[in-house]
Amino acid sequence: MPTSLTRSQKAVGIGAVKYADLSTARESAYVFDWDRMISFRGNTGPYLQYATARIRSIFRRAAQPGGLGDAGDPEGAGDRGDAGPGAAAQDPRSSAVAITADPERALALRLLSFGAILTLVGQTAEPHRLSAYLFEVASLFTTFYEQCPVLKAETSSLRASRLALAALTQDVLSTGLGLLGVPCGANVTER
């Protein structure tokens, strides 16, 4: 029976090869470079898998007691709009996204072009365009994550907005990677 680590290694390895294959334009010279493929830096499958794992980690921490609530609300009930501990958290996608910083704006604008990218990829049969788009989204998310506090945002409404933007980013990355056949779910561990 495979262990969780073995499943994760397999998911990263398969994702690395698939992504490397599909991120290269078919007219380009293809060089099989295992070291580049498995890197967690740059336009690689593992980098994108790690980006989705990072977002899942934000939501795991947000679900912990006190993770979504105000400092004086240790159970986090204040942001759920429910009766208290044990109730299901509100879907972050139901919050409006308020743009308050340049990294939020850049990420939100790029997310809006997902449909157009999918249409283009479908019309041209050029999956490398989707790969490039997903890499750009992951890079913009990294900048957003580094410059805009999500769980420690100044207000609960800003925290909800940033969680909504993170959820939308997760949806786009997961859908895009799924279309490329790159695993990105719970089988890929956080580094």
Handedness of CA 48, 50, 54, 57 (dihedral sign): positive
Question: What residue type is 183 in one-letter code?
Answer: P
What integer pLDDT is reported at residue 65 of this predicted model?
Answer: 65
Give the span between the Cα atoms of 47 and 19, in whole angstroms. 10
Spatial neighbors of 190 by CB under 8 A, at least 6 apart, are 50, 53, 54, 56, 57
What integer pLDDT is reported at residue 33 of this predicted model?
Answer: 65
What integer pLDDT is reported at residue 104 of this predicted model?
Answer: 97
Q: Is the pLDDT of residue 79 over 70?
A: no
What integer pLDDT is reported at residue 72 of this predicted model?
Answer: 32
Q: Report which of 48, 42, 55 is spatially closest to residue 12, judged by C-alpha positions.
A: 48
Q: Between residues 44 and 126, which one has the greater pLDDT?
A: 126
Give the span between the Cα atoms of 18 and 32, in whole angstroms. 12
Give the span between the Cα atoms of 46 and 188, in whole angstroms. 9
pLDDT digits (tens, 9 = 90+) for 80-132: 333 333 333 567 777 889 999 999 999 999 999 999 999 999 999 999 999 99
H-assigned helices in the chain: 4-22, 34-37, 45-63, 102-111, 114-124, 127-147, 156-180
Spatial neighbors of 129 by CB under 8 A, at least 6 apart, are 117, 120, 121
Q: Report which of 28, 29, 11 is spatially closest to residue 19, judged by C-alpha positions.
A: 11
The structure's pTM equals 0.76
What integer pLDDT is reported at residue 165 of this predicted model?
Answer: 97
Q: Is the pLDDT of residue 29 over 80?
A: no
Number of CB atoms found within 10 A of residue 126's CB: 16
